[in-house]
Structure 1
């Protein structure tokens, strides 16, 4: 069932894209979309203030201090404090939606299937588990 949703989305993108059919248009629109996501995050911090970025060096244990993966996960931080407000959340969802649109468009142009790519990545994560390290 889920593959049908992805395929329907990818087909809808293909049918609705008229102006930006060149691969150059698509990749630059995808890059612009990435920038808009970054801008929306920055605005959530600087204009709204619903989240804060409190970044500092990640303190990893030394090699002599052996830790298992669950302990290591507790050492690493996202550097985000707070939670997106409803307005910022809606903006982020819209920007990420636009990004997905151009990503699907890129896949269409290169004759790739979004669902197949997602499934391959999902299987890789499940096979490698916590050892996929990204």
Structure 2
């Protein structure tokens, strides 16, 4: 069932894309949408203040005998707070635009978005925490 949703979305994107059919247009619109996501996050910090960035050096122990689950606890997201409803709405819209152009790129290159997602899911399911991302 889920592959039907992905296929329907991919087909709908293909039907909606009119002006930006060129590979160069799609690549630059995808990059622009990524910039807009970053800008929306930055504005959540600098304009709204609903989230804060508290960045500092990651305090990772030098102990080679530490297990992966314990090691993971030492990493910090540097993010404090929660998105307010307005910032969440803006960010969801920008991520949606990004998905649109990512899907457009898949369409142009004859790639199936669901297959890509499934391959990535299988990879992280198989390797789990050992994917080291």
TM over 0.5, shorter chain: yes
- 1:56-106 deviation digits (Å, cap 9, x = unpaired): 111111044x21111111100110000000000010100000000000000
**Quick check: 1:25 aligned with 2:48?**
no
Aligned residues between the structures: 133
Partner residue in 2 for 1:14: 14
Partner residue in 1 for 2:54: 54
Partner residue in 2 for 1:70: 69
Q: Normalising by the residue count of structure 2, what TM-score does the alignment of the two structures yield?
A: 0.98
Partner residue in 2 for 1:39: 39
Mapping of 1:83-94 within 5 angstroms? 83-94=82-93
1:43 Cα deviation after fit = 0.1
Q: Normalising by the residue count of structure 1, what TM-score does the alignment of the two structures yield?
A: 0.97
SS of alignment partner, residue 73 of structure 2: helix
1:18 Cα deviation after fit = 0.3
Structure 1 stretches of 4+ with a deviation exceeding 3 A read none
**Where in structure 1 are there 5+ consecutive unaligned residues?**
none
User: Counterparts of 1:90 and 1:104 in 2: how far apart (Å)?
Assistant: 21
- 1:11-56 deviation digits (Å, cap 9, x = unpaired): 0000000000000000000000000000000000000000000001
SS of alignment partner, residue 21 of structure 2: coil
**Where in structure 2 are there 5+ consecutive unaligned residues?**
none
